[in-house]
Structures are given as C-alpha cells and as structure tokens.
Structure 1
Amino acid sequence: MSSIRKNIIFTLTFLFVFVMMVFLLAQTVHDENHSVIQGNIVTLDNNWTVSYEDTTLENVILPIDLKLDESTVYKATTILSEAYKDSTHLLLRSSMQNINIYLDDSLIYTYEKNKDIRFGNTLASLWLLLDLPEEYEGKELTLVMESSVSFFSGIINEIQLGTPQMLVFNILKSELTGIITFAILFFIGVFLIITSFFIKLSEDSRVLYLGLWGVVTSIWILSEARLLQFFTGNKFIIGGISYMMIPLIGMFLTLYIKEAIIIEKRNKRLMRIIAILYACFLCHSMLFQTLGIQSFIESLNYHLILMVLMNLGIIIIMLLEWIDHKNERVKQLFNYMIVLAVTLLLETFTFYSERFSFTSQFLRIGILIFFGLLLKDYYHFVKDRIAIQKEHLLLEKLAYRDLLAGGYNRTAYERDLDVLLKKKKRFRLILIDVNNLKWINDNYGHKYGDDTIKKVYELMQETFKTIGRCYRIGGDEFAILMKNTDENIYKQCIKGLRKDLEICGENLPYLVDIAVGHSVFNPNKGDTYVKFYQEVDQKMYADKIKRKRRTQEIMYAKN
C-alpha cells in the first residue's frame, strides 16, 4: 500500500472517530436545551371528527387518507384545548386541495384554485402557516377540503400548533437529509457544468450531462422535500417543478450514458432517440398543463408507463453493448444501479410498514451514493485524460525539439514557415552553417563537434530570441525566421553573434565560425518560396567559401 493511500485512510479514520466521539459526548453531557430557537410544537393528531357525503367518522387520528373520489367535499373538526394557549400559529400542508378553515363559524383562511385563470392554472401542495386569533381556546377548528386530483382527494395531513419560528425550524429539521442532498448535488452539478465549458478533456459532453443531471435531480429532491416555498412563492413552480424535473432527470442520465458508456454508433443513436422522447414528455406535460387540458400529475400517470418501457430499452441497449463489445463500463454502471435498486426496495419496505418518518430518506442516500460513484468515474476519466494530454504534449514537444541543440528542429521550422506563408506577409530568412565542423570532429572528436553545435544554437537563440525563432534544420545547418525585416537590426544581430562566437573560440583549440545567407521573402512579388530558399542557400554557401580559407588559416595558427 502506497504512503499516500495510507495517509488518506488514516485521515478518514481519524475524522470518523472524532465525529463519533463528539456525538457520544453530546449525548452523555446533555442537561437542557440552549438552542436560540425554542418552544413547543403541539401536534393535533387525535380527537378529530371527519365527515363526507353521508359518512361521519369519530375519534379520527391524523394524518389520514379517506381515498375519496375527486372533487368530493370533506370536513374535519376538533376542539382547540386551553393547553394550546402558548401557540400562536397553525401549520398544515394542503395536498393539491382547495381548503377553507373556520374557527367556530368564522372563516379565518381560504385557499382555492382560481377558476378565472385558464392558462397555467396549477394546483400546488403548499405549507399553510396561519396566525391564530387571540382567545381561540375552546373553539372548534374546522377544515373544509376538496381536490380535483383523485390521488389527493380525501387526504388530511398532520396539523401542528406553535410559534412560527419553531414551526418553520421543525420543517427544516425534518428535511435535513433533503437539504444536504440538494446542496451536494446542486453545487457539484453547477461546478461540473461550468468546468465543461472551460476545460475540454474530450470531444464528448459527458461532464455537461452529468452536471445537468446533478442539478435537476437536486431540484427534484428539494421539491419532494417540500422546501420550495423557502425559495419562491410562485404557485406554478411550487406545484409543477417536481413533475417537470422527472423527464429531465431521465433525459440527462440517458445522454450521459450515451456519451460515457455506449460505444456502438447505432446504440448511441437509439439513446439519443430515447432522450428526445423524454424531452417530448416534458413539452407535452407543460403544454397540456398550460392549456388546462391535463394537470402535471395526470400527464405523469401516462408518461410513467412509457418511461418504464424506455428504461427497459436502455437496459437492453446496455446488455447488447456488453454482449457485442464486452463493454466493462456497462458492467460497472449496472453495479452502481444496484445501489439505487436497494434503496428503492428499502423505500418500499418503509412505506408499506408505515414508517413514514423514513420515507424518501433511503432514496436520497442512494442517489447521493450513485452520484458519488459517477463522480468517481469522472475523476478517473479526468485523471486518465490529463495523463494522455501530458503524453501528447510531451510527444508534440519532442516532435518539434532537436535533442542535441535543445531547441526547435526542422519539423518546427516547417510548421512555423507554413503559418508565415499562409499569412502572406514579408519575413526574413537567415540560413547559417557551421564552418569546418567535419574538421573539428576529425581532429578533436565528435564530443567537441556536438558542443560546437550546442554553443552556436545557444548564442543564436540569445541573439534573436526577441525578434525571431531559431531552428536546427540539419547536421550543421540552422535557420532563423524573422518577422522584423529591418536590415539594420539584422546586421546588428549578425555582428553581435559573430563577436560572441569569436569570444567563445578564445577558450577553445579551434575557431568557431559560421557562414550566413539571408534575404527577405515578399509574397507579393510572385516568386515561389522554393526558388527564394535556393537563392538564400546560395548566398550562404558563397559566404562559406569566402570565410573558409580565413577560418582554416586562423585554426592552423592556433595549433
């Protein structure tokens, strides 16, 4: 095991032990409540009388689902005891219901669907926080409700009394896992979306789709946690966002699987079609809700059947990927989906065993784990892509690098020359050849010859680094491309280079000298670059012949 892995395991173990110790000590040293928000919450769950049509039920315990037909009016009454006198507010949740609340025979609150609004009129499940009138003790509290949605018709949710601060705090406290899950998914999702635009690690859009899936799933969780009213009071958003997120969750997960898991092009096309169908479901439900033809929840009843079939199609496509291509990523994703399957089974168990306090808790944890596993895959993907990019950069660097001189090679020269020629602008070409390199190799060895090549390139680079780029294009041949075509600047640079080489040769048993040819290429003259290069090359060889005899005489004199 590597030292890094040991450090990670040690750190996580330490943090786990620390958290457990804090928790145990907090439970042991518990004397009284010092919370800033204090107060009692009274749950009105007993002694209700419920009536509908010709039926009356006594001593009903809330919450209850009467399972009535849609638009059936039903009523619930109870007496507010004097024991509740310290409570100033009443909190209840309406489940897509019209509701009127009376204290004795006095109407203190009403919420009904506005029938005058035809387009976009949405019934929403809402928290209702009512300020109770003074001296309500001993009075009869009556709720009159009805819902046009059969699924919610007959539901009476839990009703609580208390201070507004405690009632709101209790909502947040009861949905703590929802808040945490929302925050993790939302902020990581936003981060992934942003990075997908600025960090391009591949040609596909898997990072974008994973981020979008995280964001829309977080919004769905926030809505299902009944917390949207803390962010907005818009009834359309509160009542519809949860239903709108469901097809988006399916669409973005499908697109992620298409990009990150599927290999075969035909299967990718099928996944794209499924994603488009999800988008069509979204458009259909929004259009029908807006026109008042069908509510979100009614559309969802039909869409869910089709979504199940589409998900089966996705599973079949992934199985074909595994059979045809032995795609290990498919196997891995199936393993991840087991987490969701287990949490769904736990959700089903808690629901049918009527342990409603745990409802949706397991699913949220399952979604977090599933998202974490996808993030783990993303981390390994990023790690591998960075390693590949580093390798490509290294290979590219080596492809344009002369290993002996330590600078640019002929390939880099041809690359940069091509850029200059495409721009059709004037530039100066300088060709340089080291004089008597063969003689140096023969008399002093190739090490001295190699050192000479390195030194010539080093001094060239130092002289021309701000006005041109230097290349080694052959054994003892060099080239310089200068965008600045000023003749005086060129002469000053060559003069300085020759002087530096002369100083360098003072500490050597031989003279380091160069032959130079140069000219300015003007693309507007109509000459080809090949012809221009030959002319510069001829100038360089003419200079070589001219300086060769002088160089040999000096070297013989030094020896």
Structure 2
Amino acid sequence: MRTQKSNFQTMKYFFYILMIAILGWFCFMQLFGANEQNYNNPSKSIIYSGSFYWNKEDGTKQKIDIPGTYEVKPGHTMVLTTTLPKDYDETTFAIRSSLQDIQFYVGNSLRAQYSTKDTRMAGKNSASRYIFCPTTYKDAGKTLRIELTTYTSNYSGIVNEVYCGNKAEIWQYIYNTYGISTFIAFFILFTGITSILFGIALKNVYHTTFDMEYFGWCMLMGSIWMLGESKIRQILVPNASALAALCFVMIMLSPLPILFYADNILNLI
C-alpha cells in the first residue's frame, strides 16, 4: 500500500511539473516567439495617407499634420476636410475622440456622429472612444469632412490618427497596439479579487486580520482605473461613459485601503 501511495504521489508531482512546464513554454512562445498575426496583415498601412486641411472660421484653410494639436477655443468646432482619391475603394474611416463630439460627412451626407449629451449622467464632454464612418467605392473623389468639438481646453484642438481600411483590420491594429495593457488590467483585477476573497476567508477562519485584503483592494482599484483608461474600453462595456467616470472615482478612493491598513498596524502596536 505504501509503495502504491508513493507511486501515486510521484505521478502527481510529475503531473504538476509537466503542467508548469507546458504553461512556461506557452508563455515563452507568446513573449519571444514569432508574431504570426502579422502574416495575414495587408501590405498597405491602415493609417490614412491623404492630406487634411483645417477649415478655419475666418474662411481660410491650413494644411495640417495628423496626429497633432492645434489652437482651438473650447466649444468651437474644428472642421477638417480631405478629398478621397479617385481609386478609393475602402469601407471605413475611423478616428479616436479625445473627449470630443464628432461628425463625419461624405459630400453633404452625414455618415456617422458621436455625442453623449443626451445619455451621459454628468459632465459636459463625451467619453473618448473610436468613431467609425462607413464608406464605399462610390465615394471616390468626394470630400470627407470631420468636425471635432470639445468643451475642455486640455483637449480642444487635438486631432488623433485617422485610419482608413476595413473595419476588422482597423480593430485588429488597435487591439495589437493597446490590447496588452487591457490584458494586464484584467489580470490585476482577477488577482485583486482573489486576494480580497482569500483575506476575508482567512479572517473568518482564523479570527484575525490579514493584510492581503487591503493589498487586494488597492489592486482592484488600480485595475479598474486601467480598464477605464483602456483604448478599447468601448468593446468591454455597453456604457463607456460610466467606465470612464468610474476610473476617476477609483483614483479618489484608492487612498482608503492604505489608510485602513495603516490604522490596523497602529492598533496592533
């Protein structure tokens, strides 16, 4: 019986070692292996290469570089225009709003717009997110107009990168660029929740306080802030405005777990 039990323990340890080795191999390949996602990427860039002009309120035009920041008063609309090439055949234009209301026009037709003035619970600006404008080959040679409006001086006049191509390809580019930080945020969120639950469980079992609970709360609040600042937060939740506001609430509340921990240490002295 002892021999069988010893063999069983040996096989169990071997299984643990095998699973850890497999996990290590997988993580190593993801970090240092070839990026196979690039093999199916289109050869052309999805960054729009055409020229944009800033149509000012006095009637003048100025050719601008994108991305860039320009002097625009809060509450005033910055109008950008570009002429689509004669061989244009893409299906989507996209730009990231930085606390801006955005409208896309192709010719005289309003194709896409974004504003949360009728849906947000507080604040005067729309939460930052990506706005997609559908287009077709029939739009070749037409004028594309983008209107940007914000009521905050820190973001007024900001023009982010403009993307042009297939919507799925644009999302893939955004995901490849900003996805890793979101994965890290989810990992910290999971770890924080686990720490809190273990801390509460151990406290109830041993009738004493475990500091890991306070650490878990700090991780939880930090991860929510990271998710609120994520560039792809609009695909994480239906209401991105609430998540954007929540990250600032977490920043204000984050000192509390540290104060509770300090108070607990002082009570033990």
Band the TM-score falls in, shorter-chain normalisation: 0.7 to 0.9
Query: Structure 2-normalised TM-score?
Result: 0.76
Q: Deviations over 1:503-552 (max 9, x none)?
A: xxxxxxxxxxxxxxxxxxxxxxxxxxxxxxxxxxxxxxxxxxxxxxxxxx
Contact 1:84 1:161 in 2 (8 A): no
Which segments of 5 or more consecutive residues in structure 2 lack a partner in the other structure? Answer: 1-16
The alignment's C-alpha RMSD in Å is 3.4
Answer yes or no: is 1:125 the counterpart of 2:136.
no
Contact 1:124 1:235 in 2 (8 A): yes
Which of the two has greater helix per residue? Answer: 1
The AA in structure 1 aligned to 2:213 is L
Please give the alpha-carbon distance, in whole angstroms, between the structure 1 residues aligned to 2:43 and 2:217: 41
Please give the alpha-carbon distance, in whole angstroms, between the structure 2 residues aligned to 1:179 and 1:40: 27
Equivalent of 2:96 in 48, 68, 93: 93
- Structure 1 position 257, deviation (Å): 4.6
Please give the alpha-carbon distance, in whole angstroms, between the structure 2 residues aligned to 1:166 and 1:127: 14
Q: Name 1:184's counterpart in structure 2.
A: 187
Contact 1:66 1:154 in 2 (8 A): yes
Q: Name 1:42's counterpart in structure 2.
A: 46
Please give the alpha-carbon distance, in whole angstroms, between the structure 2 residues aligned to 1:57 and 1:203: 70
Equivalent of 1:236 in 238, 241, 249: 241
The AA in structure 1 aligned to 2:253 is L
Please give the alpha-carbon distance, in whole angstroms, between the structure 1 residues aligned to 2:169 and 2:195: 37
Q: Per the alignment, do residues 151 and 188 of structure 1 end up closer, same or farther by CA in structure 2, a change over 3 Å counting?
A: same
The residue correspondences of 1:131-530 to structure 2 (distance < 5 A) are: 131-200=134-203, 203-204=208-209, 206-259=211-264, 263-265=265-267
Where 2:257 maps in the other structure, the secondary structure is helix
Q: Name 1:70's counterpart in structure 2.
A: 74
- Structure 1 position 49, deviation (Å): 0.5
Higher relative contact order (CA 8 A, sep 6+): 2
- Structure 1 position 156, deviation (Å): 1.2
Q: Deviations over 1:223-278 (max 9, x none)?
A: 2222221121214314412222211333334434544xxx435xx9xxxxxxxxxx
Q: Per the alignment, do residues 148 and 198 of structure 1 end up closer, same or farther by CA in structure 2, a change over 3 Å counting?
A: same
Q: Name 1:511's counterpart in structure 2.
A: none
Where 2:173 maps in the other structure, the secondary structure is helix
Q: Name 2:9's counterpart in structure 1.
A: none
Q: Per the alignment, do residues 126 and 203 of structure 1 end up closer, same or farther by CA in structure 2, a change over 3 Å counting?
A: same
Query: Structure 1-normalised TM-score?
Result: 0.39
Q: Deviations over 1:2-29 (max 9, x none)?
A: xxxxxx9xx99xx69x948x947x48xx
The AA in structure 1 aligned to 2:58 is D
The AA in structure 1 aligned to 2:256 is M
Contact 1:190 1:211 in 2 (8 A): yes
Q: Per the alignment, do residues 19 and 242 of structure 1 end up closer, same or farther by CA in structure 2, a change over 3 Å counting?
A: same
Q: Name 2:111's counterpart in structure 1.
A: 108
Contact 2:103 2:147 in 1 (8 A): yes
Q: Per the alignment, do residues 119 and 168 of structure 1 end up closer, same or farther by CA in structure 2, a change over 3 Å counting?
A: closer
Which segments of 5 or more consecutive residues in structure 1 lack a partner in the other structure? Answer: 1-7, 269-324, 326-559
- Structure 1 position 76, deviation (Å): 0.7
The AA in structure 2 aligned to 1:264 is L
Q: Quick one: percent identity of the two aligned structures?
A: 23
The AA in structure 1 aligned to 2:84 is L
